[in-house]
Structure 1
Amino acid sequence: MNSESRRLRMMINCAIFAATTAILAQVEIPLPVVPISGQTLAVGLTATILGSRQGAAAMTCYAALGAAGLPVFAGFKGGAQVLAGPTGGYIIGFIAAAFVTGYILEKTSFNLPMALIANTAGMIVTLLFGTIQLKFVLDLTWTQALAAGVYPFIAVGLIKAFLASWIGITVRRRLVQANLIHSSRKAVA
């Protein structure tokens, strides 16, 4: 496959997974400050299937679409104000989480146990970014920020990490078999 075909495939993959994230973002359970949504499941799936570079690129595309005003964030929200608001840190954290998750898998192995470790690490990265912004935007103490931005999401986050790992590894294997993504541990540039 030549470099133009590879770049086109990467752009298509990024668009598909940005769209998947936008769709799963609309599946949400409202909570007082930060809702539980399918966005983080999509981040884990994206990174598990595509790896670090393409996963981070897909999440960058997702964040950029939302920042441009498209209603892709949870609750059909969009606009730069969402990224600057209380939940914006989570969305920015998706980029770092996708990179970290994919990187761990690329440096180890794309299998279920490693995917679970990688997706759990990605969940921690997302919660870290989100809680820091939540604390400063809402002028909370660290205790209040952790109570609003971390504790309610640990159990459901671990469930999503497992689902992203299991589904992601299964889909990745099939895409590799179909020669739709590269099979090596390293992400294709």
Structure 2
Amino acid sequence: MSDQQKRLREIIVCALFVAITGILAQVSIPVPPVPFTGQTLAVGLTATIIGSRLGTFSMIGYMALGAVGVPVFSSFSAGLQTIVGQTGGFIIGFIPAAFIIGFILERTKFSIPMAIIANVIGMFVTLGFGVIQLKYVADLSWAAAFAGGVTPFIPLGLVKAVLAAWIGIIVRKRLIAANALPVTKRKRIENSEIGIS
């Protein structure tokens, strides 16, 4: 496969995960000041399946698409005002979260236990970015920002981390087995991921 074909495949994969994130973002429970959404599940799935580099590009693409007005954020919202608003820090946090989840898995092993650990860490990264922006944009105390932007999301966030890890590793293995995922690691590492000796 030529370099141009590889780049095209990577672009298609990233576009697919941007679309998945936009779809899951519409699974939303509007609880002020920060709604419960499926976005963080999408971030975990993306990074677990396609790794740090493509996962990061996918989240950058997702944020850029929303910033220019395509309604991919929760409740079909869009625009720069969403990114700089009270909940925008969470969207910004998707980018480092995707990188960190993928990075941890690439440096350890693409297994469900490691993916759970990586996704839990990624969840706290997203919440960290979100609570900082929520605190300053909404002019809240740190206690109020944590109460509104962190504490309510931890139980469901842990469930989503487990789901993202479990589903993500299964999907990743199947895509690699079908040669449908652009993986750049050495062949023996790829084979070990799908159980080929």
Q: Which TM class, normalised by the smaller chain length?
A: over 0.9
- What's the CA shift string for 1:59-98, capped at 9, x where partnerless? 0000000000110000000000000000100000001100
Which amino acid letter does the alignment assign opposite residue 56 of structure 2?
A: A
Shift of 1:30: 1.4
Which amino acid letter does the alignment assign opposite residue 173 of structure 2?
A: R
Local SS of the residue matching 2:152: helix
TM-score normalised by structure 1 residue count: 0.96
Matched, 1:38 2:35: no
Structure 1 unaligned blocks of 5 or more: none
Residue 10 of structure 2 corresponds to which residue in structure 1?
10
Shift of 1:184: 2.8
Local SS of the residue matching 1:156: helix
Residue 159 of structure 2 corresponds to which residue in structure 1?
159
- The runs of 4+ residues in structure 1 deviating greater than 3 Å are none
Q: Distance in 1 between matches of 2:14 and 2:83?
A: 20
TM-score normalised by structure 2 residue count: 0.92
Local SS of the residue matching 2:103: helix
Shift of 1:2: 1.8
Residue 184 of structure 1 corresponds to which residue in structure 2?
185
Q: Distance in 1 between matches of 2:159 and 2:185?
A: 27
Structure 1 residues 41-120: aligned runs within 5 Å: 41-120=41-120
Shift of 1:164: 0.2
Percent identity between the two aligned chains = 60
Shift of 1:29: 1.1
Q: Distance in 2 between matches of 1:120 and 1:25?
A: 19
Shift of 1:147: 0.3
Measured on the aligned residues, the alpha-carbon RMSD in Å equals 1.2
Local SS of the residue matching 1:51: helix
Which amino acid letter does the alignment assign opposite residue 92 of structure 1?
A: I
Shift of 1:22: 0.3
Larger Rg: 2
